[in-house]
Amino acid sequence: MNIRLPRLEGVDLRFTAPPSKSGTHRALIAASLAPEGSSVISRPLRSEDTLCTREGLCRMGVRMTYTGENIHVDGAGCRLDGGEGEVTIDCRNSGTTLRLLTSVALLHRHPVTLTGSARMQERPIGPLADALRTIGGDFVYGKKYGYPPFTVSGTLLGGRVSIDAGISSQFVSSVMMAAPCAREPVEITLYGREVSRSYLDMTADVMERFGAGVTHAGDGSIQIDNSGYRATDYRVEGDYSSASYFFAMAAVCGGRVTVGNLNPSSLQGDRRMLAILSEMGCSVSAHGEEVTVERDGPLCGLSLPMEQTPDIIQTVAAVACFAQTPTTIEGTANLRHKESDRVAAVAAVCRCAGAVVEVGEDSVVIHPRSSPGGGILDPADDHRTAMSAAVVAMGRGDVTITGAECVRKSFPGFWDALREAGI
């Protein structure tokens, strides 16, 4: 599917944020590991990514049924059994599914093989596997050492475990979510450059909502009781990552954009998008679960460390193309390990806006509007690249996005939302 959007100026738009992808993944897992009773998850995100997690959990013996906008999860407890012996889970292009279910697979009665798309097989899992080996896990790689596909077996014993969080916070979240089901309490120590701490806070919050005991110690370690989970009802809040593209449209086009279904006290690190837009020259206001971003003056470039919020780097880069001064974004190295090489994607999207991009080992510098821009952009099956390209298209015009259906990974209704807003 190809999408070509018009250039707009002085917008006045309203949108509703979709449910949080991160929150949905985590709630599905916690509810699945609750030993008794049914949990009701209200308004979970239905996307390709979250479908992969749901299917993977069901393959390991969890029962789930949809009722309207809710999903009922009959928890299987801490000893999973799909009833078919060894299980294979195809995570397709969902890195979140593969990483989070790697630790959960240790709770399954039989070995579990996790695999995925060609791109998924290029994304490292070694640091997580190394950590799990120290607390009872066994890994056999199917092709390349340290990468999917691989088979997990063993028993989650618990105890002390050190995890290299330098590539992804999801390695840590994975161990955290399985830890309440370990034989002994788990103490997690992080090393390497820590990224995306806000996601660990979100993981702990969901775990605690489902009855798990999580303590952040003064030395930076994470201590988790082995007291399991309990069934509960959980409402998934709106997704600030997905809302960031709407807010960026106000910054790029000028005018006003209001987005509803956003928790003003959310732990989501991508709320930072609002602070960044404010620094760049926009005004931000909140009323209940609605947030409004307005711009009626020029945008200024910034110097931003963003290793803690990688999922909005592409959105910020799109806005930076329309500022009056350059923007430096630091902490970009891990973008090379995402659904695509997102450093290359940032450069490609910014070139469509006419910007010049300097790419460093761990940074990008965006010099805005130095050339005509426009053209055809292939997002390489990366949802965030496609949505950030939409922002540029609305500010620049003359941009065609190919393979635009890739937004189904996290925000299936993105293009429909634009059409319903009159774009």
- Is there a contact between 295 and 283 (Cβ–Cβ < 8 Å)? yes
Cα distances (angstroms) measured from residue 207 to each of 176, 178, 203, 366 = 9, 10, 6, 39
> Catalytic residue among 49, 270, 311, 341, which?
311
The yes-or-no verdict on residue 340 having pLDDT over 80 is no
Q: Which DSSP state fits 311?
A: G
How many Å apart are CA 273 and CA 315, to the nearest integer? 9
Q: What is the pLDDT of residue 192?
A: 81
Please report which confidence band the pLDDT of residue 215 belongs to, taking 50, 70 and 90 as the band edges.
very high
User: Is the per-residue pLDDT at 196 higher than 90?
Assistant: no
Instruction: For residue 247, give the amino acid letter.
Output: F
Q: Taking 90 as the threshold, does the pLDDT of residue 155 lie above it?
A: yes
Residue 193: predicted pLDDT: 75
Report the distance separating Cα 167 and Cα 127, nearest Å: 8
Residue 218 has pLDDT above 70, yes or no: yes
pLDDT at position 36: 79
pLDDT at residue 337, as a whole number:
66
**Which pLDDT does position 258 carry in this prediction?**
99
Q: Is the pLDDT of residue 195 over 70?
A: no
Q: What is the CATH number of domain 3-19+237-420?
A: 3.65.10.10
81 given a catalytic annotation: no
3-class DSSP assignment, residue 301: coil
pLDDT per residue as tens digits for the range 62-90: 999 999 999 999 999 999 999 888 999 99
CA 371 – CA 337 distance, rounded (Å): 29
Q: Which residues contact 3 (CB under 8 A, 6 or more apart)?
A: 386, 390, 393, 400, 401, 404, 415
- For residue 408, with 0-12 CB atoms within 10 Å meaning exposed, 13-18 middle and 19 or more buried, which class applies? middle
Considering only 164-173, 265-274, 403-412, which range has the smallest mean pLDDT? Answer: 164-173
Residue 395 region by backbone torsions, left for phi larger than 0, else alpha for psi between -120 and 50, else beta: alpha
Report pLDDT for 79. 94
Q: CA 45 to CA 24: how far, in whole Å?
A: 6
pLDDT band at 170; cut points 50, 70, 90? very high
Cα–Cα distance between 276 and 30 in angstroms, integer? 33
pLDDT of 47 strictly over 90: yes
What stretches of 56-136 adopt beta strand conformation (E)? 63-67, 70-74, 87-90, 112-115
Query: When comparing pLDDT for 25 and 370, which is higher?
Result: 25
245: pLDDT strictly greater than 80: yes
User: Residue 11 — very low, low, confident or very high, per pLDDT cuts 50/70/90?
Assistant: very high
Q: What's the pLDDT score for residue 333?
A: 87
CA angle 63, 65, 71 (to 5 degrees): 110
What percent of the chain lies above the pLDDT cut of 90?
Answer: 89
The string of pLDDT tens digits covering residues 372-405 is 778 999 999 999 999 999 999 999 998 999 999 9
**What CATH number does the domain located at 79-218 have?**
3.65.10.10
pLDDT score recorded for residue 165: 82
Structure letter (DSSP) for residue 199:
H
Range list for CATH 3.65.10.10 in the chain: 3-19+237-420, 79-218
Confidence at residue 166, expressed as pLDDT on a 0 to 100 scale: 80
- Contact between 204 and 22 under an 8 Å Cβ cutoff? The reply is no
DSSP at 136: T
- Say if CB 346 and CB 317 are below 8 A apart: yes
Q: What value does the mean pLDDT take over residues 346-364?
A: 93
Residue 80 has a pLDDT of 97
If you average pLDDT over every residue of the chain, what do you get?
95
At 39 the three-state DSSP class reads: strand
Instruction: Name every residue whose Cβ is closer than 8 Å to that of residue 58 and which is 6 or more positions away in sequence.
Output: 64
Q: Is the pLDDT of residue 123 over 70?
A: yes
- pLDDT score for 398: 86
Buried b (16+ CB within 10 A) or exposed e, 14-34: ebbbbbbbbbbbbbbbbbbbb
Phi, psi of 293 (to 5 degrees): -115, 130
- Residue 384 near residue 407 (C-beta atoms within 8 A): no
